[in-house]
Protein backbone atom coordinates (compact mmCIF):
# COMPACT_ATOMS: atom_id res chain seq x y z
CA UNK A 1 0.00 0.00 0.00
CA UNK A 2 1.48 3.23 -1.17
CA UNK A 3 1.74 5.90 1.49
CA UNK A 4 -0.05 9.15 0.83
CA UNK A 5 2.25 11.90 -0.33
CA UNK A 6 2.80 14.64 2.16
CA UNK A 7 1.30 17.24 -0.14
CA UNK A 8 -1.83 15.28 -0.36
CA UNK A 9 -2.28 14.76 3.37
CA UNK A 10 -5.71 16.01 4.26
CA UNK A 11 -5.63 18.77 6.85
CA UNK A 12 -8.41 18.86 9.39
CA UNK A 13 -10.97 21.54 8.51
CA UNK A 14 -10.92 24.64 10.75
CA UNK A 15 -14.21 25.69 12.13
CA UNK A 16 -15.55 28.87 10.44
CA UNK A 17 -15.57 32.02 12.58
CA UNK A 18 -19.07 32.92 13.66
CA UNK A 19 -20.28 36.51 12.81
CA UNK A 20 -20.78 38.65 15.94
CA UNK A 21 -24.39 38.88 17.01
CA UNK A 22 -25.56 42.57 17.06
CA UNK A 23 -26.35 43.81 20.54
CA UNK A 24 -29.63 45.68 20.79
CA UNK A 25 -29.53 48.74 23.00
CA UNK A 26 -31.58 48.48 26.08
CA UNK A 27 -34.98 50.08 25.78
CA UNK A 28 -35.17 53.47 27.40
CA UNK A 29 -37.96 53.39 29.81
CA UNK A 30 -39.17 57.02 29.49
CA UNK A 31 -42.74 56.52 30.61
CA UNK A 32 -41.86 56.34 34.34
CA UNK A 33 -40.40 59.84 34.08
CA UNK A 34 -43.47 61.12 32.30
CA UNK A 35 -45.66 59.59 34.98
CA UNK A 36 -43.56 61.23 37.69
CA UNK A 37 -43.92 64.66 36.04
CA UNK A 38 -47.70 64.25 35.79
CA UNK A 39 -47.95 63.20 39.44
CA UNK A 40 -45.84 66.19 40.49
CA UNK A 41 -48.02 68.57 38.48
CA UNK A 42 -51.18 67.15 40.05
CA UNK A 43 -49.67 67.47 43.50
CA UNK A 44 -48.70 71.10 42.89
CA UNK A 45 -52.16 71.87 41.58
CA UNK A 46 -53.79 70.21 44.58
CA UNK A 47 -51.72 71.90 47.25
CA UNK A 48 -51.51 75.39 45.75
CA UNK A 49 -54.88 75.71 44.04
CA UNK A 50 -57.29 73.31 45.66
CA UNK A 51 -56.16 73.58 49.24
CA UNK A 52 -57.16 77.26 49.81
CA UNK A 53 -60.59 76.44 48.39
CA UNK A 54 -60.94 73.46 50.75
CA UNK A 55 -60.37 75.73 53.76
CA UNK A 56 -63.40 77.86 53.01
CA UNK A 57 -66.27 78.05 55.38
CA UNK A 58 -69.89 77.92 54.16
CA UNK A 59 -69.99 81.72 54.01
CA UNK A 60 -67.18 81.68 51.46
CA UNK A 61 -64.48 83.03 53.81
CA UNK A 62 -61.05 81.28 53.63
CA UNK A 63 -59.73 80.14 56.97
CA UNK A 64 -56.29 79.55 58.31
CA UNK A 65 -55.45 75.89 57.84
CA UNK A 66 -54.07 75.41 61.34
CA UNK A 67 -56.97 77.29 62.91
CA UNK A 68 -59.47 75.16 60.95
CA UNK A 69 -57.88 71.95 62.19
CA UNK A 70 -57.62 73.29 65.71
CA UNK A 71 -53.93 72.33 66.10
CA UNK A 72 -52.45 69.32 67.84
CA UNK A 73 -54.41 68.11 70.81
CA UNK A 74 -57.45 70.26 70.07
CA UNK A 75 -60.83 69.77 68.57
CA UNK A 76 -62.03 71.27 65.33
CA UNK A 77 -63.80 74.07 67.07
CA UNK A 78 -60.99 76.46 66.19
CA UNK A 79 -62.24 76.62 62.59
CA UNK A 80 -64.80 79.37 62.97
CA UNK A 81 -62.17 81.77 64.27
CA UNK A 82 -60.24 81.59 61.01
CA UNK A 83 -62.97 83.40 59.15
CA UNK A 84 -61.52 86.79 60.11
CA UNK A 85 -58.33 86.13 58.15
CA UNK A 86 -59.84 86.50 54.69
CA UNK A 87 -59.15 89.99 53.26
CA UNK A 88 -62.10 91.82 51.73
CA UNK A 89 -61.84 93.08 48.17
CA UNK A 90 -60.06 96.47 48.42
CA UNK A 91 -61.53 99.17 46.17
CA UNK A 92 -61.14 102.87 45.52
CA UNK A 93 -64.36 104.85 45.67
CA UNK A 94 -65.62 108.33 44.90
CA UNK A 95 -68.74 110.27 45.82
CA UNK A 96 -71.16 111.47 43.17
CA UNK A 97 -71.50 115.22 43.35
CA UNK A 98 -73.43 118.05 41.79
CA UNK A 99 -71.43 120.21 39.42
CA UNK A 100 -71.21 121.88 36.03
CA UNK A 101 -70.23 120.12 32.83
CA UNK A 102 -68.79 122.12 29.93
CA UNK A 103 -69.71 120.81 26.49
CA UNK A 104 -66.89 121.14 23.97
CA UNK A 105 -66.69 120.53 20.24
CA UNK A 106 -63.30 119.21 19.16
CA UNK A 107 -61.86 119.91 15.74
CA UNK A 108 -58.72 119.77 13.64
CA UNK A 109 -57.32 122.78 11.85
CA UNK A 110 -54.34 124.92 10.97
CA UNK A 111 -53.26 128.47 11.67
CA UNK A 112 -53.87 130.95 8.85
CA UNK A 113 -52.63 134.57 8.94
CA UNK A 114 -55.16 137.35 8.49
CA UNK A 115 -52.96 139.00 5.85
CA UNK A 116 -49.97 137.88 3.83
CA UNK A 117 -48.30 140.28 1.38
CA UNK A 118 -45.53 139.66 -1.12
CA UNK A 119 -43.59 142.92 -1.43
CA UNK A 120 -42.82 143.67 -5.09
CA UNK A 121 -41.31 146.64 -6.87
CA UNK A 122 -43.72 148.86 -8.80
CA UNK A 123 -40.92 150.33 -10.93
CA UNK A 124 -37.92 148.90 -12.73
CA UNK A 125 -34.51 149.78 -11.35
CA UNK A 126 -31.48 148.73 -9.38
CA UNK A 127 -31.91 147.75 -5.75
CA UNK A 128 -29.74 150.18 -3.81
CA UNK A 129 -30.47 149.49 -0.14
CA UNK A 130 -32.28 146.89 1.98
CA UNK A 131 -33.32 148.42 5.28
CA UNK A 132 -34.95 145.42 6.98
CA UNK A 133 -33.63 142.33 8.71
CA UNK A 134 -34.98 138.86 8.12
CA UNK A 135 -37.45 137.91 10.83
CA UNK A 136 -37.99 141.52 11.87
CA UNK A 137 -41.42 142.69 12.99
CA UNK A 138 -42.32 145.83 11.04
CA UNK A 139 -45.19 148.30 11.13
CA UNK A 140 -47.22 149.50 8.19
CA UNK A 141 -45.46 152.37 6.38
CA UNK A 142 -41.98 151.45 7.58
CA UNK A 143 -39.28 151.86 4.88
CA UNK A 144 -38.00 148.52 3.61
CA UNK A 145 -36.14 149.00 0.31
CA UNK A 146 -34.71 151.83 -1.80
CA UNK A 147 -34.37 151.62 -5.59
CA UNK A 148 -32.06 153.90 -7.57
CA UNK A 149 -34.16 157.12 -7.87
CA UNK A 150 -32.05 159.07 -10.38
CA UNK A 151 -33.93 158.00 -13.49
CA UNK A 152 -37.22 159.02 -11.90
CA UNK A 153 -35.81 162.32 -10.71
CA UNK A 154 -34.83 163.14 -14.31
CA UNK A 155 -38.30 162.32 -15.55
CA UNK A 156 -39.79 164.59 -12.91
CA UNK A 157 -37.51 167.45 -13.90
CA UNK A 158 -38.49 167.08 -17.54
CA UNK A 159 -42.18 167.09 -16.71
CA UNK A 160 -41.84 170.15 -14.50
CA UNK A 161 -39.90 171.98 -17.26
CA UNK A 162 -42.55 171.24 -19.84
CA UNK A 163 -45.24 172.50 -17.50
CA UNK A 164 -43.30 175.71 -16.82
CA UNK A 165 -42.96 176.39 -20.55
CA UNK A 166 -46.64 175.83 -21.17
CA UNK A 167 -47.47 178.01 -18.18
CA UNK A 168 -45.47 180.88 -19.69
CA UNK A 169 -47.23 180.52 -23.02
CA UNK A 170 -50.57 180.48 -21.25
CA UNK A 171 -49.73 183.69 -19.41
CA UNK A 172 -48.75 185.42 -22.66
CA UNK A 173 -51.92 184.21 -24.41
CA UNK A 174 -54.07 185.53 -21.56
CA UNK A 175 -52.44 189.00 -21.85
CA UNK A 176 -53.06 189.05 -25.60
CA UNK A 177 -56.65 188.03 -25.02
CA UNK A 178 -57.23 191.10 -22.82
CA UNK A 179 -55.80 193.32 -25.55
CA UNK A 180 -58.00 191.77 -28.19
CA UNK A 181 -61.03 192.35 -26.06
CA UNK A 182 -60.17 196.07 -25.74
CA UNK A 183 -59.62 196.40 -29.48
CA UNK A 184 -62.82 194.54 -30.23
CA UNK A 185 -64.75 196.94 -27.99
CA UNK A 186 -63.21 199.80 -29.99
CA UNK A 187 -64.27 198.00 -33.15
CA UNK A 188 -60.63 197.85 -34.21
CA UNK A 189 -60.45 194.06 -34.90
CA UNK A 190 -62.78 191.48 -36.19
CA UNK A 191 -64.67 189.09 -33.95
CA UNK A 192 -62.77 186.16 -35.46
CA UNK A 193 -59.43 187.33 -34.07
CA UNK A 194 -60.89 187.57 -30.57
CA UNK A 195 -62.34 184.06 -30.82
CA UNK A 196 -59.02 182.66 -32.05
CA UNK A 197 -57.17 184.17 -29.12
CA UNK A 198 -59.69 182.78 -26.66
CA UNK A 199 -59.22 179.29 -28.19
CA UNK A 200 -55.45 179.62 -27.85
CA UNK A 201 -55.79 180.44 -24.16
CA UNK A 202 -57.98 177.39 -23.58
CA UNK A 203 -55.47 175.26 -25.48
CA UNK A 204 -52.66 176.35 -23.17
CA UNK A 205 -54.83 175.73 -20.14
CA UNK A 206 -55.39 172.14 -21.32
CA UNK A 207 -51.66 171.73 -21.87
CA UNK A 208 -51.02 172.88 -18.33
CA UNK A 209 -53.41 170.25 -16.98
CA UNK A 210 -51.65 167.56 -19.04
CA UNK A 211 -48.28 168.77 -17.82
CA UNK A 212 -49.51 168.65 -14.26
CA UNK A 213 -50.54 165.02 -14.74
CA UNK A 214 -47.10 164.18 -16.12
CA UNK A 215 -45.47 165.86 -13.16
CA UNK A 216 -47.67 163.97 -10.70
CA UNK A 217 -46.90 160.67 -12.44
CA UNK A 218 -43.18 161.40 -12.30
CA UNK A 219 -43.47 162.15 -8.59
CA UNK A 220 -45.40 158.91 -8.09
CA UNK A 221 -42.76 156.89 -9.91
CA UNK A 222 -40.12 158.54 -7.80
CA UNK A 223 -42.03 157.61 -4.63
CA UNK A 224 -42.15 153.98 -5.80
CA UNK A 225 -38.38 153.95 -5.53
CA UNK A 226 -38.90 153.88 -1.76
CA UNK A 227 -40.77 150.66 -0.89
CA UNK A 228 -42.56 150.68 2.46
CA UNK A 229 -44.34 147.93 4.41
CA UNK A 230 -47.98 147.71 3.27
CA UNK A 231 -49.07 145.93 6.50
CA UNK A 232 -47.75 145.30 9.98
CA UNK A 233 -46.27 141.87 10.44
CA UNK A 234 -43.22 139.68 10.48
CA UNK A 235 -40.65 139.84 7.70
CA UNK A 236 -39.67 136.56 6.09
CA UNK A 237 -36.49 135.62 4.27
CA UNK A 238 -35.48 138.11 1.60
CA UNK A 239 -35.76 136.89 -1.96
CA UNK A 240 -33.37 139.35 -3.66
CA UNK A 241 -30.08 140.95 -2.71
CA UNK A 242 -28.73 144.47 -2.99
CA UNK A 243 -27.48 145.43 -6.46
CA UNK A 244 -29.92 143.34 -8.44
CA UNK A 245 -32.25 144.82 -11.03
CA UNK A 246 -35.84 144.47 -9.90
CA UNK A 247 -38.78 144.67 -12.26
CA UNK A 248 -42.50 144.99 -11.86
CA UNK A 249 -43.01 141.59 -13.48
CA UNK A 250 -40.90 139.63 -10.99
CA UNK A 251 -43.00 136.73 -9.69
CA UNK A 252 -41.10 136.11 -6.46
CA UNK A 253 -40.94 139.68 -5.28
CA UNK A 254 -38.52 141.04 -2.72
CA UNK A 255 -39.83 139.69 0.59
CA UNK A 256 -43.03 138.33 2.18
CA UNK A 257 -44.71 139.97 5.18
CA UNK A 258 -47.12 137.91 7.27
CA UNK A 259 -49.45 139.33 9.88
CA UNK A 260 -49.23 137.21 13.04
CA UNK A 261 -51.12 139.37 15.53
CA UNK A 262 -53.95 138.58 15.49
CA UNK A 263 -54.01 135.27 13.66
CA UNK A 264 -56.84 132.97 12.64
CA UNK A 265 -57.33 129.21 12.74
CA UNK A 266 -59.40 127.33 10.18
CA UNK A 267 -60.84 124.10 11.60
CA UNK A 268 -63.65 121.68 10.86
CA UNK A 269 -66.47 120.14 12.88
CA UNK A 270 -69.02 117.46 11.94
CA UNK A 271 -72.09 118.69 10.14
CA UNK A 272 -74.33 117.35 12.93
CA UNK A 273 -73.05 120.11 15.22
CA UNK A 274 -73.88 122.99 12.87
CA UNK A 275 -77.35 123.74 14.34
CA UNK A 276 -75.96 124.23 17.85
CA UNK A 277 -73.21 126.53 16.58
CA UNK A 278 -75.50 128.58 14.36
CA UNK A 279 -77.97 129.00 17.22
CA UNK A 280 -75.24 130.60 19.33
CA UNK A 281 -74.08 132.84 16.48
CA UNK A 282 -77.60 133.99 15.70
CA UNK A 283 -78.02 135.05 19.33
CA UNK A 284 -74.73 137.03 19.05
CA UNK A 285 -73.00 134.93 21.69
CA UNK A 286 -69.23 134.69 21.61
CA UNK A 287 -68.04 131.10 21.48
CA UNK A 288 -64.63 130.60 23.16
CA UNK A 289 -62.14 128.48 21.22
CA UNK A 290 -58.89 127.04 22.58
CA UNK A 291 -56.02 126.01 20.34
CA UNK A 292 -53.96 123.01 21.51
CA UNK A 293 -50.78 121.48 20.16
CA UNK A 294 -50.64 118.24 18.17
CA UNK A 295 -50.36 116.09 21.32
CA UNK A 296 -53.21 118.02 23.02
CA UNK A 297 -51.04 118.60 26.07
CA UNK A 298 -50.28 122.32 25.76
CA UNK A 299 -52.82 125.06 25.19
CA UNK A 300 -51.33 127.47 22.69
CA UNK A 301 -53.85 130.31 22.80
CA UNK A 302 -57.48 131.21 23.48
CA UNK A 303 -59.72 133.09 21.08
CA UNK A 304 -63.27 133.40 19.80
CA UNK A 305 -65.20 132.08 16.83
CA UNK A 306 -65.46 134.52 13.91
CA UNK A 307 -67.65 132.83 11.34
CA UNK A 308 -68.84 129.60 9.75
CA UNK A 309 -68.43 128.66 6.11
CA UNK A 310 -71.51 128.75 3.87
CA UNK A 311 -71.38 125.14 2.69
CA UNK A 312 -70.62 121.60 3.86
CA UNK A 313 -67.85 119.52 2.37
CA UNK A 314 -69.75 116.56 0.95
CA UNK A 315 -66.60 114.43 0.86
CA UNK A 316 -65.93 114.59 4.60
CA UNK A 317 -69.30 115.69 5.97
CA UNK A 318 -67.70 118.60 7.82
CA UNK A 319 -67.95 122.37 7.74
CA UNK A 320 -65.16 124.93 8.09
CA UNK A 321 -65.06 127.45 10.91
CA UNK A 322 -62.73 130.38 11.48
CA UNK A 323 -61.59 131.54 14.91
CA UNK A 324 -59.37 134.48 15.77
CA UNK A 325 -56.60 134.47 18.39
CA UNK A 326 -54.55 137.40 19.75
CA UNK A 327 -51.32 135.36 19.54
CA UNK A 328 -49.49 137.71 21.88
CA UNK A 329 -46.58 135.31 22.43
CA UNK A 330 -46.41 134.08 18.81
CA UNK A 331 -47.30 130.54 19.87
CA UNK A 332 -49.35 130.13 16.69
CA UNK A 333 -47.49 130.13 13.38
CA UNK A 334 -48.88 130.13 9.84
CA UNK A 335 -49.80 126.64 8.57
CA UNK A 336 -49.26 125.14 12.04
CA UNK A 337 -51.43 122.10 12.82
CA UNK A 338 -53.61 122.60 15.90
CA UNK A 339 -56.38 120.84 17.78
CA UNK A 340 -59.31 123.06 18.69
CA UNK A 341 -61.81 122.89 21.54
CA UNK A 342 -64.84 125.15 21.24
CA UNK A 343 -67.09 125.66 24.25
CA UNK A 344 -70.63 125.25 22.97
CA UNK A 345 -72.62 124.90 26.20
CA UNK A 346 -72.41 124.58 30.00
CA UNK A 347 -74.74 122.10 31.73
CA UNK A 348 -75.18 123.36 35.27
CA UNK A 349 -76.08 121.53 38.51
CA UNK A 350 -75.92 118.01 37.12
CA UNK A 351 -74.79 114.78 38.82
CA UNK A 352 -71.12 114.17 38.05
CA UNK A 353 -68.94 111.13 38.75
CA UNK A 354 -65.41 110.17 37.69
CA UNK A 355 -65.38 108.50 34.29
CA UNK A 356 -63.36 105.62 35.78
CA UNK A 357 -66.43 104.57 37.77
CA UNK A 358 -68.49 103.82 34.66
CA UNK A 359 -68.62 100.12 33.69
CA UNK A 360 -70.06 98.54 30.56
CA UNK A 361 -71.30 95.00 30.13
CA UNK A 362 -73.96 92.86 28.52
CA UNK A 363 -76.60 94.42 30.75
CA UNK A 364 -75.62 97.93 29.62
CA UNK A 365 -73.84 100.82 31.29
CA UNK A 366 -73.65 100.55 35.06
CA UNK A 367 -71.73 101.49 38.18
CA UNK A 368 -71.05 99.69 41.45
CA UNK A 369 -72.63 101.60 44.34
CA UNK A 370 -71.11 101.02 47.79
CA UNK A 371 -73.80 100.56 50.44
CA UNK A 372 -73.40 101.53 54.14
CA UNK A 373 -72.79 97.85 55.03
CA UNK A 374 -69.81 97.74 52.63
CA UNK A 375 -71.64 95.71 50.02
CA UNK A 376 -71.83 96.79 46.40
CA UNK A 377 -74.91 96.99 44.22
CA UNK A 378 -74.88 97.01 40.44
CA UNK A 379 -76.75 100.13 39.34
CA UNK A 380 -77.70 100.76 35.71
CA UNK A 381 -77.05 104.36 34.68
CA UNK A 382 -77.51 106.70 31.74
CA UNK A 383 -74.51 108.88 30.94
CA UNK A 384 -74.47 112.32 29.36
CA UNK A 385 -71.63 114.64 28.40
CA UNK A 386 -67.99 114.00 29.25
CA UNK A 387 -65.57 116.65 30.47
CA UNK A 388 -62.04 115.46 31.02
CA UNK A 389 -62.15 112.82 33.78
CA UNK A 390 -65.75 113.59 34.77
CA UNK A 391 -68.98 112.34 33.22
CA UNK A 392 -72.52 113.60 33.59
CA UNK A 393 -75.05 111.08 34.91
CA UNK A 394 -78.51 111.63 33.46
CA UNK A 395 -80.24 108.92 35.50
CA UNK A 396 -79.43 106.08 37.90
CA UNK A 397 -77.38 107.95 40.50
CA UNK A 398 -77.87 110.89 42.80
CA UNK A 399 -75.48 113.23 44.54
CA UNK A 400 -73.92 111.55 47.58
CA UNK A 401 -73.86 108.02 46.17
CA UNK A 402 -70.51 106.29 46.65
CA UNK A 403 -69.35 104.45 43.55
CA UNK A 404 -66.35 102.20 42.89
CA UNK A 405 -63.74 103.77 40.61
CA UNK A 406 -60.94 101.20 40.89
CA UNK A 407 -61.03 97.47 41.59
CA UNK A 408 -64.42 96.83 39.99
CA UNK A 409 -63.14 94.09 37.68
CA UNK A 410 -63.45 91.41 40.42
CA UNK A 411 -66.69 92.59 41.98
CA UNK A 412 -70.15 91.11 41.79
CA UNK A 413 -73.55 92.42 42.73
CA UNK A 414 -73.98 92.09 46.50
CA UNK A 415 -70.32 91.33 47.15
CA UNK A 416 -68.48 92.56 50.21
CA UNK A 417 -65.76 95.19 49.74
CA UNK A 418 -63.39 97.28 51.75
CA UNK A 419 -63.02 100.92 50.71
CA UNK A 420 -59.29 101.56 50.93
CA UNK A 421 -59.49 105.08 49.52
CA UNK A 422 -62.43 107.43 49.10
CA UNK A 423 -62.35 110.75 47.25
CA UNK A 424 -58.56 110.62 47.24
CA UNK A 425 -58.21 110.01 50.99
CA UNK A 426 -57.01 106.75 52.55
CA UNK A 427 -59.44 105.00 54.90
CA UNK A 428 -58.24 102.69 57.75
CA UNK A 429 -59.85 99.30 58.53
CA UNK A 430 -59.36 95.92 60.16
CA UNK A 431 -61.83 95.94 63.07
CA UNK A 432 -63.91 93.18 61.51
CA UNK A 433 -60.86 90.95 61.18
CA UNK A 434 -59.88 91.39 64.84
CA UNK A 435 -63.31 90.35 65.96
CA UNK A 436 -63.01 87.16 63.97
CA UNK A 437 -59.63 86.41 65.56
CA UNK A 438 -60.92 86.79 69.07
CA UNK A 439 -63.90 84.62 68.30
CA UNK A 440 -61.63 81.95 66.85
CA UNK A 441 -59.47 81.97 69.98
CA UNK A 442 -62.49 81.57 72.22
CA UNK A 443 -63.99 78.72 70.28
CA UNK A 444 -60.73 76.86 69.84
CA UNK A 445 -59.23 77.54 73.24
CA UNK A 446 -58.16 73.90 73.56
CA UNK A 447 -56.09 74.15 70.44
CA UNK A 448 -52.36 74.05 70.36
CA UNK A 449 -49.85 76.75 69.46
CA UNK A 450 -50.81 76.55 65.80
CA UNK A 451 -54.36 77.53 66.60
CA UNK A 452 -53.13 80.48 68.64
CA UNK A 453 -50.92 81.57 65.78
CA UNK A 454 -53.85 81.40 63.43
CA UNK A 455 -55.92 83.58 65.74
CA UNK A 456 -53.23 86.18 66.10
CA UNK A 457 -52.60 86.22 62.34
CA UNK A 458 -56.25 86.91 61.72
CA UNK A 459 -55.97 90.19 63.57
CA UNK A 460 -54.16 91.84 60.65
CA UNK A 461 -55.91 94.50 58.66
CA UNK A 462 -58.12 93.33 55.79
CA UNK A 463 -56.32 93.14 52.50
CA UNK A 464 -53.08 91.69 53.99
CA UNK A 465 -52.14 88.30 52.61
CA UNK A 466 -52.46 85.29 54.99
CA UNK A 467 -48.80 84.41 54.43
CA UNK A 468 -47.76 87.81 55.75
CA UNK A 469 -49.98 87.33 58.82
CA UNK A 470 -48.42 83.94 59.56
CA UNK A 471 -44.90 85.28 59.25
CA UNK A 472 -45.72 88.12 61.60
CA UNK A 473 -47.20 85.77 64.22
CA UNK A 474 -44.20 83.46 64.01
CA UNK A 475 -41.92 86.38 64.65
User: Average pLDDT, stretch 371-380?
Assistant: 91
Residue predicted with more confidence, 235 or 35: 235
User: Average pLDDT, stretch 148-169?
Assistant: 95
Q: Which CATH architecture has domain 149-224?
A: Orthogonal Bundle (1.10)
- H or E segment to which residue 130 belongs: strand 125-130
Give the DSSP letter of residue 389. Answer: T
Average pLDDT, rounded, for the chain: 80
pLDDT band at 37 (very low <50, low <70, confident <90, very high): confident
Rounded Cα gap, residues 51 and 45, in angstroms: 9
Most confident segment among 57-66, 146-155, 404-413: 146-155
The percent of residues in the chain predicted with pLDDT above 90, rounded, is 56
Give the pLDDT score at 35.
80
Beta bridge partners of 338: 109
Q: Is 314 exposed, middle or buried (0-12, 13-18, 19+ CB in 10 A)?
A: exposed
**What are the pLDDT digits (tens) for 135-151?**
999 999 999 999 999 99
Beta bridge partners of 419: 91
pLDDT band at 217 (very low <50, low <70, confident <90, very high): very high
Give the pLDDT score at 330.
93
pLDDT at 400 over 60: yes
Give the DSSP letter of residue 103. Answer: E
Please report how the helices 466-474 and 449-457 are oriented relative to each other, as an axis angle in degrees rounded to 10. 120
pLDDT at 17 over 80: no
- CB-CB contact of 166 with 204 (8 Å): yes
- Residue 431 φ then ψ, to 5°: -60, -35
Give the pLDDT score at 28.
54
- H or E segment to which residue 116 belongs: strand 116-119
Total residue length of the chain: 475
Give the pLDDT score at 433.
41
Dihedral sign, CA of 457, 460, 466, 470? negative
**What are the pLDDT digits (tens) for 238-289?**
999 999 999 998 989 999 999 999 999 999 999 999 999 999 999 999 999 9
Provide the residue ranges of all domains of the chain, joining segments of one domain with +. 149-224
Torsion angle of alpha carbons 149, 150, 151, 154, nearest 10°?
Answer: 120
- Residue 113 φ then ψ, to 5°: -70, 150
pTM: 0.59
Amino acid sequence: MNPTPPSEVTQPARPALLAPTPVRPAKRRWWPWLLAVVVAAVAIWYFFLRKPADTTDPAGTPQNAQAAKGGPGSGKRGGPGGGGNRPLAPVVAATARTGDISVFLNGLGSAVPLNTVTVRSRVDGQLMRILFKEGQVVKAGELLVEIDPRAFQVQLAQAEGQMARDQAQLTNAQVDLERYRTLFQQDSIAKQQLDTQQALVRQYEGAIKADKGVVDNAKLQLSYARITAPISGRIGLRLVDTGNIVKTGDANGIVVITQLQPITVLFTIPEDNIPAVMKKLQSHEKLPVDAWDRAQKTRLDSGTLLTVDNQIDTTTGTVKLKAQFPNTDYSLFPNQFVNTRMLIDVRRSVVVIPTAGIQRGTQGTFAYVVKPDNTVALQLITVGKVQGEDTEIVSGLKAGDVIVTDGADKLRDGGKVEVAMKDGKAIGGGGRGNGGSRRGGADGGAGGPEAGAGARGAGSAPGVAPAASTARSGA
